[in-house]
Chains A and B, each alone.
Chain A
């Protein structure tokens, strides 16, 4: 599960239940701007991603992650470590 496509596919799957507006997902889709998530939704989604990949995405890291692509890259990097 280390390649970016697989990670991105899994992340898209996890976004599903939170994608109330049915936004089409690309690597450039942003969580705040496009998906319009509030902080609570972000919290629930981050927890789902953390549990799926068995990683920790600290709040410091979250501050720099705005898009689906950036999240996929961050997850890939965290899984290497």
Chain B
């Protein structure tokens, strides 16, 4: 018998080698208690959270929690059904209404996760004979959406406007084309040049989908994302997003002004063949989304935090993923996985949690310590964070 798991032997070996150096497993951390959007207890120690994507700190918002409790009480714990059968409650419709208000768009479709939103929309829109043109550093859910469909896939160099244009011009003019972009790329926290890219897509007859998972609620005057900030939201055909970041719960969505959008509810398999989100999740999401519409002050504070941390880390001598703070993600580039894991552990010992990101999730085989800030981090916490980076960096010889 061939052991089907033997294909993972190299990875098993790599993990064993890493753990043999004495570092803790960075991929099996347990949060024993969560005290607030920015503090949890890990290994019995109070730890500042700097790697949660909880950008707007909505997870402990009083109104959000009350809405969830009320829905749990009134509608029960789950729907046990697909959105197209018994799984659409008034709360699901209300959540889609909240999204339409938030984005000022005509249509919204809620999926069970952001991953499924990309999987479903991309695989359903682009069929046999169509083309999907995507940035090489796209998220796994975008690649998996491509793999699930039957379209031809064309990749271009990360954030390279000219490479995108050249490829669009080489494709058959009559073929269906979907260009998939992200507002913020989550590994390095860099922003896409959407203004130029969306224009080029339109000039070349392509439809555009932008994944705004890491910008919703924060970037743009109304928190609609990078396409709002760069003034091209009206030319974007589909926006994909998630509830698991700024919104502070779980779920995914697609919003659009396309007049035929609603048909996707019947033909999109990752929408149809899975249970809908629980009522409490819909209630917390709707409440959070509507509050995010009026969170200009929190957005401003989050920008302050991001800029302060970026400047502080640069001053300490760390190498960062972007020359200036472009989003709420700040990526510290580590020389290799071993050093990265040592630094990650030293930070945890100091009382700070960040994400350790490694290939293949990262571009250019980089090992990253990825920090994501929260609007609920205080200025004092950012100072503390910088102190921890300094201590840990010196302890492991990273600076």
Contact = CB atoms under 8 A, between A and B. Distances in A.
Contact of A59 (B154, B157, B360, B365): B154
Given A38-B365, A40-B364, A40-B365, A60 B153 contact: yes
B136 interface: yes
B153 A59 contact: yes
Nearest to B360: A39
Contacts of B153: 58-60
B14 to A, nearest CB: 15
B136 to A, nearest CB: 6
A47 B152 contact: no
Contacts of A38: 365
Contact of B170 (A39, A56, A60): A56
A28 interface: no
Contacts of A55: 170
Interface residues of A, number: 14
Interface in B307-330: none
B170 A43 contact: no
A54 interface: yes
Contacts of B154: 56, 58-59
A60 B152 contact: yes
A43 B171 contact: no
Interface in B155-173: 155-157, 163, 166-167, 170-171
Contacts of A80: none
A51 interface: yes
A51 to B, nearest CB: 7
A58 B170 contact: no
A71 B70 CA distance: 61
Nearest to B131: A58
B135 to A, nearest CB: 11
Contacts of B170: 50, 54-56
A56 B132 CA distance: 12
A43 B364 contact: no
Given A43-B157, A47-B157, A56 B171 contact: yes
Contacts of B163: 47
Given A38-B365, A40-B364, A56 B167 contact: yes
Contacts of B171: 56
Contact of A58 (B152, B363, B365): B152
Nearest to A51: B166
Nearest to A54: B170
A38 B167 CA distance: 22
Interface in B111-163: 131, 136, 146, 152-157, 163
Contacts of B131: 58
Interface string A31-69: 000000011100110010011001110111000000000
Contacts of A54: 170
Nearest to A39: B360
Nearest to B143: A59
Contacts of B155: 43, 59
B79 to A, nearest CB: 37
A7 to B, nearest CB: 17
Given A56-B170, A58-B153, 4 more contacts: A43-B157, A50-B167, A56-B167, A59-B153
Interface of A: 38-40, 43-44, 47, 50-51, 54-56, 58-60
Interface of B: 131, 136, 146, 152-157, 163, 166-167, 170-171, 360, 363-365
12 contacts: A40-B364, A40-B365, A43-B136, A43-B157, A44-B157, A50-B166, A50-B170, A56-B154, A56-B167, A56-B170, A58-B153, A59-B146
